[in-house]
Amino acid sequence: MNNSIKIEDIKEHFDKDKHLIFGYTPMCGTCKISERMLDIANDIEQLPLKKIDLNFHKYFSEEYKIMSVPVLLIMDKDKEVDRIYAFQSVPYLLEKLKK
């Protein structure tokens, strides 16, 4: 079973003023912790969120010059407005998401 996401799915929220793209890999322990912190923060903020396994999206990683995982792209339509590699804490994420 192939659970990869098609490019149309990654760009699903590109019509929204503010949305999130979370890039991870399944074997990354830090990704799991960061994803949990992001889920808690986004339960409060309620922003459109797309989670992508970057193992299946080499083109996306190259296009956005992603250097490591986990990564959170804060987007305005199809433009990146902020990028987070070090998630630090839920309050830190909330502060970043509210900007």
Predicted confidence at residue 62, as pLDDT, reads: 93
Predicted confidence at residue 9, as pLDDT, reads: 77
CB 88 within 8 A of CB 38: no
For residue 39, what are the domain limits?
Answer: 19-98
Mean pLDDT across the stretch 61-82?
A: 95
Percent of the chain with pLDDT over 90: 78
Domain-located, residue 44: yes
Distance between CA atoms of residues 46 and 6, nearest Å: 23
**What is the domain-level CATH number for residue 72?**
3.40.30.10
Domain-located, residue 13: no
Domain tally, the chain: 1
CA proximity to 42, closest of 24, 66, 22: 22
Give every CB contact of residue 86 below 8 A, 6+ residues apart in sequence.
none
pLDDT tier at 1 (50, 70, 90 boundaries)? very low
Residue 5 has pLDDT above 60, yes or no: no
Predicted confidence at residue 6, as pLDDT, reads: 54
Domain-located, residue 78: yes
pLDDT tier at 70 (50, 70, 90 boundaries)? very high
Which tens digits make up the pLDDT trace of 6-49?
A: 555 788 889 999 999 999 999 999 999 999 999 999 999 999 99
